[in-house]
Amino acid sequence: MNKRKRLLSIALGAVLSVFGALLFTAANVTAHAESPIDGADGKYEMSYDFGGQSGIGKQMLEKYFDKTAVVEKINDRYYFSFTQLSSSMENLSLNLESGKQIGYRVTEDNGNRKTYSYTLSEENLQKELPFSVFVSVRGETFSFTITLNLSSARRMGEAEDTSAERPAEFVPVIVTSSGSEYEATKGQTFVIREAAASLGEETLDVEVKAYYIRGEEKTEVALDGNKLVLDNAGEYHVIYRAESTRYTTSFGNPTYAEKDVKIISCIGGGDSLAELYDTNGALPEGTMLLASRIESDSTVYKAAAEKMATIADRFQVFGVELVTADGSEAKANGSVTIGIKADFTYNRNQVAAYLLDEDGGLTKLNVSNGGSYVNVETDKSGTIILCIPGVAFHMPIWGYILILVGCLIVAAGVTVAVVFAVKRRKKKSGGAEL
């Protein structure tokens, strides 16, 4: 009987061992430990470590980013994907070399989940990667680093969509004062802002083209120098493009960068972003309002953010231009009122407004509650900042050091006091016994 049980146990153990081996083999068909540096082409998953965070806690970072990173290796090129999990984070940027922008594309964007895929060399893949991200609810840009745990990588199979063109490791940087989106009136002339482009120390030419979009149809529109006539109601796009042969895409094409400026042309003018009220007749007849929302990747926004550092954590930046039909600036001989649709969470009775001039000076403007709008009085075109005054206190690093030192001193003092108290009690008890 015991012999039969023993044989049955051996047989069962053998079956389980074979079954386990099969499961292990099946699992490793799609995933097994292997660094992308030494491994074959394909898709790899791995963990990573946060570091160097400035003004933003590690717990917050861990909360708002996916815990797993992905590296695709294709023809000895590496594409690192990193996913943010919050719509309040904008312009996630990898800043490896001064004056150069890492090539990237957005492979997923469904609101709260946005995935960036960066092109990296083998050398840079193994480095500490310095990031910056703009947190819209704080109105601030924060810095942090991540280090990929390449030794923990698992090969998950073949790389995805190898037929798509991947950006070069570095792409040109295009700089312009233009906003990202404008509202204008059908028939008016839109003046295209100048732009400059560079790649490291290399200065690049910028090509500008304009298109009219209607449904699925995209039609190129002729430009008159730097002017675009908005003949139709609808959606126009101005595309700035710069390229260089210094680096190449996955298809061997010159590296390039594009900046897209959207213009909504409306009959009677746009009414969603801004409105113009000239009750005093301060403007020439036929003056129109050209309004834009300035996004955080603009040089104008960055200049505004510097000015707001000591005034407000929550702010928005708008471009408002008073123009004639031919696109030239309209001069006001008095104040006009411009209604600007600020973030709906801004209390209209608490909003302050500032005009940022070209020299970086700030002028506080009179404001009033306009319901959906914040009514701003001004006699000039330019950059207007709407904000909720107030700056939260952010402890500098030396402050935390002083607190730590203070805590250590207090702890040491308490320890010394306890030791003396115990010795005194022992001394007293010993004397009583004697």
pLDDT tens digits, one per residue of 27-82: 444 455 688 998 999 999 999 999 987 777 778 788 889 999 999 999 889 999 99
- At residue 360, the pLDDT reads 84
* β-pairing verdict for 114-120 and 77-84: antiparallel
- pLDDT surpasses 50 at 165: yes
Residues 6 or more apart whose Cβ sits within 8 Å of residue 142: 53, 54, 55, 56, 132, 133, 135
- At residue 112, the pLDDT reads 83
In whole numbers, what is the pLDDT of the chain averaged over residues?
83
For tokens 């910028």, the residue is 206
Q: How far is CA 318 from CA 180, 182, 301, 342, 380, in A?
A: 10, 10, 9, 9, 13
Regarding pTM above 0.75, the answer is: no
**Confidence band (pLDDT; 50, 70, 90) for 26?**
very low
Residues 192 and 72 sit within 8 Å (Cβ to Cβ): no
Give the pLDDT mean for 11-36.
Answer: 54
- At residue 413, the pLDDT reads 66
Tokens of 396: 């500098």
What are the backbone dihedrals phi and psi of residue 56, each rounded to the nearest 5 degrees, phi first? Answer: -135, 130
- Terminal-to-terminal C-alpha distance of the chain: 76
For tokens 């500490």, the residue is 128
Q: What is the DSSP code (8-state) at residue 397?
A: H
**Which three-class secondary structure state does DSSP give residue 226?**
coil
Residues 174 and 257 sit within 8 Å (Cβ to Cβ): yes
- Residues of 215-239 as b/e, b for ≥16 C-beta within 10 angstroms? eeeeeebeeeeeebbbeeeeebebe
Give the pLDDT mean for 267-288.
Answer: 81
Question: Where in 69-226 does DSSP place strands (E)?
Answer: 69-74, 77-84, 89-94, 101-102, 104-109, 114-120, 129-135, 140-148, 154-157, 170-171, 173-176, 181-185, 189-191, 195-199, 202-204, 207-214, 217-221
128-152 confidence digits (pLDDT tens): 999 988 887 776 788 899 999 999 8
- At residue 401, the pLDDT reads 54
Residues 391 and 312 sit within 8 Å (Cβ to Cβ): yes
Query: Around Cβ 284, how many Cβ atoms within 10 Å?
Result: 13
**Confidence band (pLDDT; 50, 70, 90) for 395?**
very low
| % of the chain beyond a pLDDT of 90 | 46
- Residues of 54-92 as b/e, b for ≥16 C-beta within 10 angstroms? eebeeeebeebbeeebbbbbbeebbbbbbbbebeebbeb
Nearest residue to 44 (alpha-carbon basis) of 146, 152, 131: 152
353-368 confidence digits (pLDDT tens): 999 988 888 999 999 9
Query: Around Cβ 135, how many Cβ atoms within 10 Å?
Result: 19
For tokens 């998950």, the residue is 156
DSSP states of 231-300? -SSEEEEEEEEEEEEEEE-TTSPEEEEEEEEEEEEETT---SSEEEE-TT--S-TT-EEEEEEEPTTSHH
**Which three-class secondary structure state does DSSP give residue 361?**
coil
Query: Around Cβ 333, how many Cβ atoms within 10 Å?
Result: 10
- pLDDT surpasses 90 at 267: no
Q: What is the DSSP code (8-state) at residue 23?
A: H
Q: How far is CA 76 from CA 158, 187, 264, in A?
A: 14, 52, 43
HSE (side-chain half, CA atoms, 13 Å) at 4: 1
- At residue 128, the pLDDT reads 94
Residues 6 or more apart whose Cβ sits within 8 Å of residue 229: 187, 188, 189, 190
